[in-house]
Amino acid sequence: MNLFHLAIISALIPFASCGPQSTDGPRQELISGVRVLGISGSPLVPQIVKKGAEATSVELTVYVAVPLGETASVAARTLGSSPGGQVIKPENLAIQTDGFSYEDHNGFRLLTFKMTAPVPDESSFSSGQGGQATPDPTSTSTTTQATRGQVRYGIDVSAGGKIESVESAFSVASEGAEDLAWTSPEVTISAPATTSEADVDSETITLSHTSPTSETYTIGWFVSGGEIANRRTASTTWTPGDAGSYTLVGTVRGMRSKGFGIKVIDVKAN
């Protein structure tokens, strides 16, 4: 099959782990208009800053599908406070607009860009302000506790006259927590195979991924055209419907860690 492979393996998100939903297309797997595919963070789980210590930040990489021929604009959103985590104010989310990178594919452009966000200090997680003390499974002491929390942020992505609003989060943990060593999953698409063309009527698509952490991973397929029988399973059926060139996107997200991985391939269906 005439395939052009673009491998993008991230070291988080968001989507992070984010998990935005789009209303641009009739089916959730169909890429139409602007669509945030996922967000990754580095480090995946940053360490909560000790009070009085030097400030640190996390780098967030965002993957967005935008219409061919279009460019996107991005702005930070204001989120309401929540007992479930800390919130990054829009003025503290630094979007690196000078680093926007576009890759043209079949039916859409893949935009990749980075943002940086401050990591809260330990005072932000005191007195029930969005963190919780939990036993550290890496410690041999029964009294050792680790603080873990969620840090939320939001962005609006505009392209082609449409806007997608996304709320996401990254995880943080205190010094010594096993979470700090977590890494993101890596994704491989094994079918369609590179030696054959996709069947226009029915094609099996299969992805696999590494599992750096013991958690549940969510699969998400996206495609520039046709229909996918079950976009939430690693192996499923894709029906292009018409001969032509398409792009398949496979994503994986860690439910707890917020780890994110993505793989993109261009496919010819006959």
- pLDDT of residue 7 exceeding 50: no
- pLDDT of residue 266 exceeding 50: yes
Residues 6+ apart with CB under 8 A from 62: 36, 38, 39, 74, 111, 112, 113, 114, 115, 155, 157
- pLDDT of residue 207 exceeding 70: yes
Lowest-confidence range among 19-23, 58-62, 76-80, 146-150?
19-23
Which pLDDT band holds residue 194 (cuts at 50, 70, 90)? low
SS3 92: helix
The mean pLDDT value of the chain amounts to 85
What the chain holds in terms of domains, given with CATH numbers, is: 4-269 (2.60.40.10)
Would you say 209 and 187 are in contact if contact means Cβ atoms under 8 Å apart? yes
pLDDT for residue 151: 94
pLDDT for residue 138: 42
Q: Match 């000790």 to its residue by tokens.
A: 50
Looking at residues 42-50, what average pLDDT do you find?
96
CA distance 37 to 20: 8
Query: Quick one: which of 33, 100, 101 has its CA closest to 65?
Result: 33
156 pairs with which residues across the strands? 75, 165
Would you say 19 and 52 are in contact if contact means Cβ atoms under 8 Å apart? no
SS3 125: helix
**Cis omega (within 30 of 0) on the bond before 43?**
yes
Which pLDDT band holds residue 145 (cuts at 50, 70, 90)? low
Length of the chain: 270
pLDDT for residue 26: 53
Q: Match 């985590």 to its residue by tokens.
A: 85
Which pLDDT band holds residue 179 (cuts at 50, 70, 90)? very high
